[in-house]
């Protein structure tokens, strides 16, 4: 069963938030998470889901 676009976005946002929490100190992570949550709210799901993620090492 395939996830709906809304559920895909929710799952992707959770993954991004988890990555931010792993990579940044709490003070920085708070600001970055705020930006990312805003970004996910204003960018269309189609734009988010059709982009290939950039992999940071």
Domain spans of the chain, in order of start: 5-46
How big is the chain, counted in residues?
57
pLDDT above 80 for 57 = no
Confidence (pLDDT) at 1 = 67
pLDDT above 90 for 3 = no
pLDDT above 90 for 30 = yes
Q: What count of Cα atoms within 13 Å lies in the side-chain half-sphere of residue 14?
A: 6
């Amino acid at each position: 069963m395939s996830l709906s676009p809304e559920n895909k976005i929710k799952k992707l946002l959770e993954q991004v938030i988890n990555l931010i929490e792993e990579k940044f100190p709490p003070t920085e992570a708070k600001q970055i998470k705020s930006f990312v949550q805003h970004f996910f709210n204003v960018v269309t799901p189609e734009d988010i889901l059709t982009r290939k993620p950039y992999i940071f090492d």
